[in-house]
Structure 1
Amino acid sequence: MNDQKRFIGIDMSKRSFEVAVVNNADPQILRKKYKATHEDRQEFISSLRKDDIVALETGNSSFVLAKLIQKQVGCTVYVLNAGKLHIIFRSLKKTDKEDALRIAKFVQRIPEEELPAVTIPSDEEMAMRSSATEQIRVDRSRTQSINALHSLLWNNGITEYGRNDLKHKKNRDKVIANLPEAYRAQGIRLLKLIDVYEQCLGEIGEEQKEVLIKNRDETTISISMPGIGPKTAFVLLAYLGNMERFSCSAQVGHFSGFTPRIDMSGQQEHYGPITKRGPKQLRRVMNQAAWAAIRSKDGIILRGFYDRVRSTKGKKKAIVAVARKMLEILWVLHTRKELYQSPVVADHSRIIAKLKRYGLIFE
């Protein structure tokens, strides 16, 4: 190993980042704090050398800085799994300065092949993940507004419309006329809000559909799985891509945070709740897809798996197990470039019909 090689640890926060520099030849530790501004980032990047090794914890701001360093300097950059670093850096003294130093010493000491590094997403993948997050945020705001409208109607004795009824515009427009004059303006404002959210969701859906059509091979494979529609297929594409970076199906479960915590001591082995490490957007849509899959005609096998787990673990753990099982099956399908084979229909007519229904059929 080159004694002059520098190992640089960075601890990111919203408004600043701490930098610690160590090397084998000089025991002196260099430290500096930068603001999270364009000027300070450029000042830090200009101080780097091509043979430096830089390491950061995972996070959106870390990915942005890592890509800038790779593009402008070309040195080695590792973005490290924050969940694994939390165990490594367990300490009574935890500050940004100390964390930056621990990261620097960690990459100095640990061989490259043993570092808990994660893949740095491309600009396209980051944009897709941002779109998935935006869709969830807008959808949640729409749901909150619908609930507020339902509460307003209920408080005024209008109980014949449920929340699901108010998801349809024609029903919403109809009930406003039944509101007392004193509350009608409030109801109209809620209607306008819901209409805006639905317009935004429509625009987001069209943008995502264009991305799905552009990546038609991955989209078709994901859509072939029971319970998976365009929204879930898009999130899968954003966070997992074509799944080539995973060496086995178990890695997909670990990445998504669907694997249980394990506590082993002596002869005792205890499995706790899932780790929930990794993208929560992926877990959210896969849990929804799991419920849809076990209710579909093509999901007979998944339904049988769900029933077996539910009999001993309960329905909540069972549906999480189905979501993880679906991800593992998807890894097999993507790596083999195969479509999901329905146990009900021998050919792929159902998949073709599904693609047509969602406007994703490819000529």
Structure 2
Amino acid sequence: MAKAKFDAAILNSEDKYRSKIFPNTSAGFLQFLDWLAKHNALGAHLCMETTGIYGRDLANFLVQKQLLVSVVNPAQIHAFGKTELNRAKTDKADARLIARYCRMHRPAPWAPPAEEIATLQALVQRLEDLLGLRMMENSRLEAATGPARESVEAVLQFIEQQIEMVRLQIQIHIDQHPGLKSQKELLSSIPGIGDNTAATLLAFLSPVERFHSAKQVVAYAGLNPRIRQSGQWAGKSPIAKTGNALLRKALYLPAVVAKHHNPIARRQLS
């Protein structure tokens, strides 16, 4: 998936491929649908990588057409490619690799988030972008002088206004949805969980019912340790980082607070 186009590959029962490039637009989605129909592949298991905004519209389109589609973490596809000792790295080759992965592993079907969750995700992501812009402008402010400094200060003032506005929009959005509001109240009752952290957790963990244990949440966020050990040698065990980066960031400070002030968490984190 790319901003302007996407590469598709059909893998049939005879291990033969059909490949084609389509525009990443509404018209391109219809062309892709016609192409699938032409090759009797409307009943196929479709699979695509998680590519943020570039693939979101296509995934939603396919689900609306009641096609079976899975959205897979690119790290899984990359690891699968290593098992095949792949040397080629092109969009066409990647599309065929995803097709082989899908046929072998049959990943779970993807379902789009509920509308209120999708809206919350967009607001939380926008807030994170604004916070990043504020940090960059604050760094520029340290070196700015004269008219340049006045310009940076004006931009910072505007960014601060936008941050407050988006935070208010997040609060209003959560309050307007009873399910989100009740879950936020539960999260906020945990020491170390503030409004911003609660909003991020709601945005990227909902629906929480899909997780059956804390370990599943840890793995989903990419916070599980990646153990490196061979024979008598044992390397450091960094976290896997295969999940949502915003989710990991949101959980970091609450973990620090819990380690210092919650005796149960202190024993678990020590």
Cα deviation 1:243-287 (Å, max 9, x = unaligned): 111122111111111111123445766552111111111111221
- Determine if contact 1:79/1:120 at 8 Å carries over to the other structure: no
2:31 aligned counterpart, secondary structure: helix
2:196 aligned counterpart, secondary structure: helix
Partners of 2:149 and 2:26 in 1: CA distance: 45
Q: Is residue 185 of structure 1 aligned with residue 185 of structure 2?
A: no
Q: In the alignment, what sits opposite 1:67?
A: 60
- Aligned-pair CA distance for 1:140: 2.2
Letter in 2 for 1:30: R
Partners of 1:145 and 1:57 in 2: CA distance: 34
Q: In the alignment, what sits opposite 1:14?
A: 3
Partners of 1:130 and 1:95 in 2: CA distance: 31
Query: Normalised by the size of structure 2, how large is the TM-score?
Result: 0.84
Partners of 1:117 and 1:248 in 2: CA distance: 21
- Determine if contact 2:188/2:198 at 8 Å carries over to the other structure: yes
- Determine if contact 2:29/2:61 at 8 Å carries over to the other structure: no
2:8 aligned counterpart, secondary structure: strand
Q: Is residue 23 of structure 1 aligned with residue 12 of structure 2?
A: yes
Q: In the alignment, what sits opposite 1:238?
A: 203
Cα deviation 1:58-89 (Å, max 9, x = unaligned): 12233321110110x21211112222221111
2:226 aligned counterpart, secondary structure: strand
Q: 1:78 aligns with which of 49, 70, 75?
A: 70
- Determine if contact 2:68/2:109 at 8 Å carries over to the other structure: no
Percentage of pairs with the same residue: 24
- Aligned-pair CA distance for 1:238: 0.6
Partners of 2:166 and 2:205 in 1: CA distance: 20
- Aligned-pair CA distance for 1:132: 1.7
Q: In the alignment, what sits opposite 2:25?
A: 37
Partners of 1:263 and 1:191 in 2: CA distance: 47
Q: Could you list the runs of 5+ residues in structure 1 that have no partner in the other structure?
A: 1-11, 153-182, 310-363
Q: In the alignment, what sits opposite 1:201?
A: 163
Q: In the alignment, what sits opposite 1:146?
A: 138
- Aligned-pair CA distance for 1:294: 4.7
Letter in 2 for 1:37: T
Partners of 1:226 and 1:118 in 2: CA distance: 34
Q: Is residue 281 of structure 1 aligned with residue 246 of structure 2?
A: yes
Q: Is residue 219 of structure 1 aligned with residue 193 of structure 2?
A: no
Cα 1:184–1:63 shift into 2, 3 Å: closer
Cα 1:184–1:80 shift into 2, 3 Å: closer
1:192 aligned counterpart, secondary structure: helix
Q: Is residue 261 of structure 1 aligned with residue 206 of structure 2?
A: no
Letter in 1 for 2:160: E
- Determine if contact 2:174/2:181 at 8 Å carries over to the other structure: yes
Letter in 2 for 1:99: D
Q: Is residue 57 of structure 1 aligned with residue 49 of structure 2?
A: yes
Cα 1:116–1:274 shift into 2, 3 Å: farther
2:210 aligned counterpart, secondary structure: coil
Q: In the alignment, what sits opposite 1:332?
A: none
Partners of 1:144 and 1:303 in 2: CA distance: 34
Aligned residue pairs: how many? 259
Query: Normalised by the size of structure 1, how large is the TM-score?
Result: 0.64
Partners of 1:268 and 1:185 in 2: CA distance: 58
- Determine if contact 1:81/1:116 at 8 Å carries over to the other structure: no
- Aligned-pair CA distance for 1:232: 0.7
Partners of 2:267 and 2:209 in 1: CA distance: 26
Cα 1:27–1:282 shift into 2, 3 Å: closer
Cα 1:301–1:224 shift into 2, 3 Å: same
Letter in 1 for 2:93: E
Q: In the alignment, what sits opposite 2:87?
A: 92
- Aligned-pair CA distance for 1:108: 2.4
2:66 aligned counterpart, secondary structure: coil
Cα deviation 1:214-240 (Å, max 9, x = unaligned): 211210111111111111111101100
1:30 aligned counterpart, secondary structure: strand
Q: 2:217 aligns with which of 221, 227, 252?
A: 252
Q: In the alignment, what sits opposite 1:314?
A: none
Q: 1:228 aligns with which of 189, 193, 196?
A: 193
- Aligned-pair CA distance for 1:54: 0.7
Letter in 2 for 1:238: A
Superposed CA RMSD: 2.5
Q: In the alignment, what sits opposite 2:35?
A: 47
Partners of 1:29 and 1:145 in 2: CA distance: 50
Partners of 2:115 and 2:36 in 1: CA distance: 23
Partners of 1:97 and 1:148 in 2: CA distance: 42
Letter in 2 for 1:31: S
Letter in 2 for 1:252: V
